[in-house]
Amino acid sequence: MEENLQKTGDLTIVGLEAERIKGWLLFIGWVTMIGGILQALTIVGILVAWIPFLMGLWLIQAGNKVGEYSATGNVMALGQMIAKLRSYFVLTGVMMIIGLVSAALAMVFWGTVIIAAITGAANNGVNF
């Protein structure tokens, strides 16, 4: 019996904390989604605009699930909120990894170009 009270207490804390972040979820979700829409207006941006749009959508859906939990007390809504947040953070992590790998490859490429240019110039008698 005491274990059930503990679980209920923990769930109440999770629900209260979820309610505290609802506003931020919705705000950041809308700003991210609007950024994706604006990015889609550019020629290059249209290729990747779905990423911030989708991430914003997930945050808005997570915020709406908090509202559903607050209104109905449905515990499944909290689970669905966490699933939306998981999707958001997984995509954020994948994008970070892609960005870091791209930056590392760019540094290797441009480092090679600079070394080749210096070596070529030195072989042609140019002194630095």
Percentage of the residues of the chain whose pLDDT score is greater than 70: 89
Contacts of 78 (CB under 8 A, 6+ apart): 11, 14, 15, 18, 65, 66, 69
For residue 103, tell me if it sits in a domain: no
Average pLDDT over residues 26-37: 96
Flag whether the pTM goes above 0.95: no
Q: What is the pLDDT of residues 72-94, one digit of tens each?
A: 888 899 999 999 999 999 999 99
Number of domains in the chain: 1
For residue 31, tell me if it sits in a domain: yes
> How much is the pLDDT for 123?
78
Residue 73 DSSP SS3: coil
First to last CA, the chain: 80
62: amino acid identity, one letter: A
For residue 118, tell me if it sits in a domain: no
For residue 65, tell me if it sits in a domain: yes
Q: Containing domain of residue 73, as a range?
A: 2-92
For residue 97, tell me if it sits in a domain: no
For residue 100, tell me if it sits in a domain: no
Residue 66, pLDDT > 60, answer: yes
For residue 26, tell me if it sits in a domain: yes
